[in-house]
């Protein structure tokens, strides 16, 4: 049997001390940051060195430098403290005006580009001490395991994200869902593109296409739709996000299908025109998911409400990042 570490010997404050010294690279500055004496920090480092069986920080003329083991430990310690702080924050009454909490929203590429500014305005107004992280969620290959967004639900369960926003209305029953908005697709191309003067399905299929695909796979849902009508297109380029797509389209002869509200928000800035697809490309809903067990967290429900308000209050919202 593996030897189990006796956690009763560990003091969480020692990890906080490690975090401060690692960040400051100086015992005196770390002491000031923690409102402790230099001797108290030095004593704490001694205890931590004995606990972890490593010097951790080596003295230099300008302060200290972390050892190789300290460098390896730092990410895990930072994540552990983040999780502990999150648990403590959830245990305390949530007051937006005074909170110092950090929350993470996971979403497909480009989602933050269309409602983040509105959300940040609300945070600045009502919760100025709240910090926000945006984590990119990517679809996984579809297989017998189920939805391409199963990774998003795994991230929710492991608390890698607090809220996941994905283009799916269905999720496991252990998650609460809230539909934020409905979206469809339009075509974007440079403003003087010949296709705009004579839009035909033959011309559309004959143009070089740009597909947004995180994996580089050139086959998207548009290809499936065209195949149903006995048609095909040439995908000349794939790029990993819609913002990059608009930049490229504005300077080339390529055409790309992008979410309508994203195009409304960003296409003009890239000198890109919008036009309706010649074949309906379908509609879908973007849904925010949170674990049902987390709905008792007043801070999380507050953020969920603000996220919904940002999506509803802006005429520019983004949708999925599946290959198109």
The per-residue pLDDT for range 153-199, each reduced to its tens digit, is 888 887 789 999 998 888 888 899 999 988 889 999 999 999 999 99
Q: Are residues 171 and 220 in the same domain?
A: no
Instruction: Please check whether residue 252 is in contact with residue 280, taking contact to mean a CB–CB distance below 8 angstroms.
Output: no
Q: What is the pLDDT of residue 205?
A: 95
Single out the residue of 253, 296, 319, 290 nearest to residue 156, CA to CA. Answer: 290
Which stretches of the chain are assigned E, i.e. beta strand? Answer: 57-60, 63-66, 102-107, 131-136, 163-166, 175-190, 208-212, 234-239, 256-259, 272-275, 283-291
> What is the rounded average pLDDT of the residues 9-22?
84
Q: Residues 6 or more apart from 86 whose CB is under 8 A from it?
A: 101, 102, 159
> What is the rounded average pLDDT of the residues 45-65?
92
Q: Are residues 174 and 199 in the same domain?
A: no
Asked if pLDDT for residue 317 goes beyond 60, the answer is no
User: Could you tell me the two tokens for 80?
Assistant: 């552990």
Q: Is residue 28 included in any domain, yes or no?
A: yes
Q: What is the pLDDT of residue 9?
A: 57
User: Bigger pLDDT: 224 or 89?
Assistant: 224
Asked if pLDDT for residue 6 goes beyond 60, the answer is no
Asked if pLDDT for residue 83 goes beyond 80, the answer is no
Domain boundary among 36, 56, 91: 91
| CA-to-CA separations, 182 to 179, 278, 285, in angstroms, rounded | 8, 20, 4
Q: Is residue 323 included in any domain, yes or no?
A: no
Q: Are residues 177 and 304 in the same domain?
A: yes
* pLDDT tier at 144, thresholds 50, 70, 90: very low
Q: Is residue 256 included in any domain, yes or no?
A: yes
Q: What pLDDT digit, counting tens, does each position of 128-138 carry?
A: 999 999 988 87
Q: Is residue 319 included in any domain, yes or no?
A: no
Least confident piece of the model among 35-44, 271-280, 307-316: 307-316
Q: Are residues 165 and 119 in the same domain?
A: yes
Q: Are residues 24 and 154 in the same domain?
A: no
Q: What is the mean pLDDT of the chain?
A: 86
> What is the rounded average pLDDT of the residues 93-97?
90
Q: Are residues 16 and 126 in the same domain?
A: no
Instruction: Please check whether residue 243 is in contact with residue 250, taking contact to mean a CB–CB distance below 8 angstroms.
Output: no
Total number of domains in the chain: 3
Q: Are residues 290 and 168 in the same domain?
A: yes
Q: Is residue 70 included in any domain, yes or no?
A: yes
Q: What is the pLDDT of residue 145?
A: 54
Domain boundary among 62, 91, 120: 91
The domain containing residue 73 runs over which residues? 7-91
- For residues 209 and 237, give the distance between their C-alpha atoms in angstroms, rounded to a whole number: 7
Q: Are residues 35 and 125 in the same domain?
A: no
Q: Is residue 1 included in any domain, yes or no?
A: no
Domain boundary among 33, 64, 91: 91
Single out the residue of 214, 128, 82, 175 nearest to residue 165, CA to CA. Answer: 175
Q: Are residues 22 and 67 in the same domain?
A: yes
Q: What is the pLDDT of residue 276?
A: 95
- For residues 45 and 283, give the distance between their C-alpha atoms in angstroms, rounded to a whole number: 58
Q: Are residues 153 and 291 in the same domain?
A: yes
Q: Any idea what the CATH number is for the domain that residue 177 is in?
A: 3.40.190.10
Phi-psi domain of 274 (left: phi exceeds 0; alpha: psi -120 through 50; beta: other): beta
Q: What is the pLDDT of residue 110?
A: 67
Q: Is residue 121 included in any domain, yes or no?
A: yes
User: Bigger pLDDT: 103 or 320?
Assistant: 103
Least confident piece of the model among 101-115, 159-173, 207-221, 241-255: 101-115
Q: Are residues 190 and 259 in the same domain?
A: yes
Q: DSSP labels for 176-237?
A: EEEEEEEEEEEEEEETT-GGGTS--HHHHHHSEEEEE-SS-----HHHHHHHHTT---EEEE
Q: Residues 6 or more apart from 10 whose CB is under 8 A from it?
A: 51
Q: Is residue 321 included in any domain, yes or no?
A: no
Q: Any idea what the CATH number is for the domain that residue 86 is in?
A: 1.10.10.10
- pTM exceeding the 0.85 threshold for the entire prediction: no
User: Could you tell me the two tokens for 209?
Assistant: 């296409």
User: Bigger pLDDT: 259 or 110?
Assistant: 259
Q: What is the pLDDT of residue 140?
A: 74
Q: Are residues 125 and 163 in the same domain?
A: yes
Q: What is the pLDDT of residue 318?
A: 37
User: Could you tell me the two tokens for 184?
Assistant: 């469809």
């Amino acid at each position: 049997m593996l030897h189990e570490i006796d956690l009763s010997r560990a003091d969480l404050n020692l990890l906080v001390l490690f975090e401060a010294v690692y960040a400051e690279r100086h015992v005196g500055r770390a002491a000031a940051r923690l409102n402790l004496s230099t001797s108290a920090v030095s004593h704490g480092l001694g205890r931590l060195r004995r606990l972890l069986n490593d010097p951790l920080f080596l003295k230099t003329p300008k302060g200290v430098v972390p050892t190789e083991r300290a460098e390896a430990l730092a990410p895990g310690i930072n994540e552990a403290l983040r999780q502990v702080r999150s648990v403590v924050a959830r245990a305390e009454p949530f007051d937006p005006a005074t909170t110092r909490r950090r929350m993470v929203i996971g979403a497909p590429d480009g989602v933050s580009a269309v409602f983040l500014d509105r959300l940040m305005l609300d945070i600045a107004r009502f919760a100025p001490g709240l910090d926000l992280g945006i984590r990119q969620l990517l679809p996984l290959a579809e297989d017998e395991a189920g939805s391409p967004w199963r990774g998003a639900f795994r991230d929710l369960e492991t608390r890698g994200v607090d809220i996941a926003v994905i283009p799916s209305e269905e999720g496991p029953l252990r998650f609460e869902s809230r539909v934020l908005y409905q979206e469809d697709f339009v075509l974007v191309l440079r403003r003087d593109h010949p296709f705009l003067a004579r839009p035909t399905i033959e011309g559309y299929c004959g143009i070089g296409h740009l597909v947004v695909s995180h994996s580089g796979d050139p086959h998207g849902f548009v290809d499936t739709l065209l195949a149903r009508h006995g048609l095909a297109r040439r995908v000349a380029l794939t790029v990993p996000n819609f913002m990059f797509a608009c930049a490229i389209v504005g300077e080339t002869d390529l055409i790309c299908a992008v979410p309508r509200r994203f195009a409304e928000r960003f296409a003009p800035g890239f000198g890109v025109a919008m036009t309706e697809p010649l074949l309906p490309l379908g509609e879908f809903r973007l849904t925010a998911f949170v674990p049902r067990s987390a709905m008792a967290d007043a801070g999380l429900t507050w953020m969920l409400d603000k996220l919904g308000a940002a999506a509803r209050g802006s005429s520019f919202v983004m949708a999925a990042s599946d290959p198109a």
